[in-house]
């Protein structure tokens, strides 16, 4: 069984070293993000596993490519998010799809807490004004102890956030598509949005969730509340980012934070001078998360080579 490895080997040397002794490894490191430029995939008719770091193909794996690449037994994506792959289509073709669940959950949850604290302490204003002191109502900050944390989506990241919020002395409420055995109150989506002091959107962007937090829902936010988008970057989220930005500018929302990575062609509006925090897309980028991701990815690839289903998502 061949493993076609679409990743920079220096970013996954641990995986490469382990795979060399367990599979027929083909390294694809061309300076391209177009899956069709990896011609070896399309000419080789033998059984194969695709091990893909999705950023190397710009998170695009069209069904047409899957039709033209013969004998794909599995696709092992180096990410927890696998919805850039048509999972239903793969299932219909008998292609197993695996991911790396939970590998960067701690890293992302900690980043979201940092975003919350940055809004609570008006960091965007402090940076914009060169850390000068202005003791007025606009610059007055807030404590998080005793505040209500609303978590939308209680998956691996949302669950970690909830535990952190509880540990910080916050009251935790949540909405999720399924009930959880947790000591927090499950409310309707609208109730979580309207009752929370800090709202955390932890829903992955997919065809099922995109636009779920629309203007009608977001208009329920309290003026003193802050909204943190945990997954997805500006212009590519479950929430209406521009509406949230305009709410902050109009004084209808205390703060908004989202990572800077965004959809191609989307331009982030001017946010300087407002409590809007758009840090770099580093939530997943820690040494520990990288090590966990590579380990989980390796497990899935070896499992696929040996005919086992480890970390399967379809």
pLDDT tens per residue across span 45-55: 999 999 999 98
Ranking 31-35, 67-71, 241-245 by mean pLDDT, the lowest is 31-35
Is 183 inside any structural domain? yes
The pLDDT assigned to 3 comes to 96
Residues 109 and 247 occupy one common structural domain:
yes
Residues 118 and 67 occupy one common structural domain:
no
The pLDDT assigned to 309 comes to 87
pLDDT over threshold 90, residue 265: no
Is 312 inside any structural domain? no
Return the percent helix, strand and coil in the chain, to nearest 5.
35, 20, 45
Q: What is the mean pLDDT of the chain?
A: 93
SS3 247: helix
What's the pLDDT tens digit per position in 20-30? 988 999 999 87
Order of strands across the sheet with 198-201? 185-186, 171-175, 148-152, 198-201, 226-233, 255-259, 276-277
User: Could you give the residue ranges of the DSSP H alpha helices within 34-185?
Assistant: 39-43, 63-68, 87-92, 105-120, 123-128, 156-167
Q: Specify the pairing of strand 148-152 against strand 198-201.
A: parallel
Its domain, for residue 116, covers 105-277
Confidence of residue 266 (pLDDT cuts 50, 70, 90): confident
pLDDT over threshold 80, residue 206: no
Mean per-residue pLDDT for 248-263?
Answer: 92
pLDDT over threshold 80, residue 240: yes
Is 313 inside any structural domain? no
What's the pLDDT tens digit per position in 107-149? 999 999 999 999 999 999 999 999 999 999 999 999 999 999 9
CATH of the domain at 87: 3.40.50.720
Residues 70 and 132 occupy one common structural domain:
no
Is 314 inside any structural domain? no
The pLDDT assigned to 224 comes to 97
DSSP labels, 201-234: E-PPPSTTTTTSB-HHHHTTS-TT-EEEEEEEET
The pLDDT assigned to 31 comes to 76
Residues 234 and 270 occupy one common structural domain:
yes
Q: Specify the pairing of strand 72-77 against strand 48-52.
A: parallel
Residues 87 and 75 occupy one common structural domain:
yes
Residues 111 and 170 occupy one common structural domain:
yes
Cβ atoms within 10 Å of 286's Cβ, excluding its own: 16
Number of domains in the chain: 2
Residue 238 and residue 211 in contact, taking contact as beta carbons nearer than 8 Å: yes
Give me the percent of the chain exceeding a pLDDT of 70: 99
């Amino acid at each position: 069984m061949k493993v076609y490895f679409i990743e920079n080997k220096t970013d996954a040397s641990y995986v490469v070293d382990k795979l060399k002794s367990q599979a027929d490894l083909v390294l694809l490191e061309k300076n391209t993000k177009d899956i069709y430029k990896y011609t070896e995939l399309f000419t080789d008719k033998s059984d194969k596993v695709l091990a893909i770091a999705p950023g190397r193909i710009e998170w695009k794996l069209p069904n047409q490519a899957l039709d033209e690449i013969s004998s794909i037994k599995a696709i092992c994506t180096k990410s927890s998010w696998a919805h850039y792959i048509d999972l239903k289509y793969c299932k219909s073709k008998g292609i197993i799809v695996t991911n790396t669940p939970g590998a960067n959950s701690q890293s992302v949850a900690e980043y979201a807490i940092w975003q919350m604290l940055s809004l609570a302490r008006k960091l965007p204003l402090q940076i914009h004004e060169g850390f000068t002191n202005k003791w007025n109502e606009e610059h007055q900050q807030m404590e998080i102890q005793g505040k209500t944390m609303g978590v939308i989506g209680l998956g691996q990241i949302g669950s970690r956030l909830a535990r952190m919020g509880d540990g910080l002395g916050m009251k935790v409420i949540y909405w999720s598509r399924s009930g959880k055995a947790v000591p927090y109150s499950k409310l309707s989506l609208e109730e979580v949005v309207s009752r929370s002091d800090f709202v955390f959107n932890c829903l992955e962007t997919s065809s099922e969730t995109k636009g779920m937090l629309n203007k009608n829902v977001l208009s329920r936010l309290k003026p003193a509340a802050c909204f943190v988008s945990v997954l997805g970057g500006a212009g590519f989220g479950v929430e209406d980012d521009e509406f949230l930005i305009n709410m902050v500018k109009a004084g209808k929302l205390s703060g908004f934070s989202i990572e800077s990575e965004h959809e191609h062609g989307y331009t982030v509006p001017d946010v300087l001078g407002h409590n809007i925090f758009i840090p770099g897309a580093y939530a997943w980028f820690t040494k520990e998360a990288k090590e966990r991701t590579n380990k989980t990815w390796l497990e899935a690839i070896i499992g696929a080579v040996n005919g086992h289903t480890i970390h399967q998502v379809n």
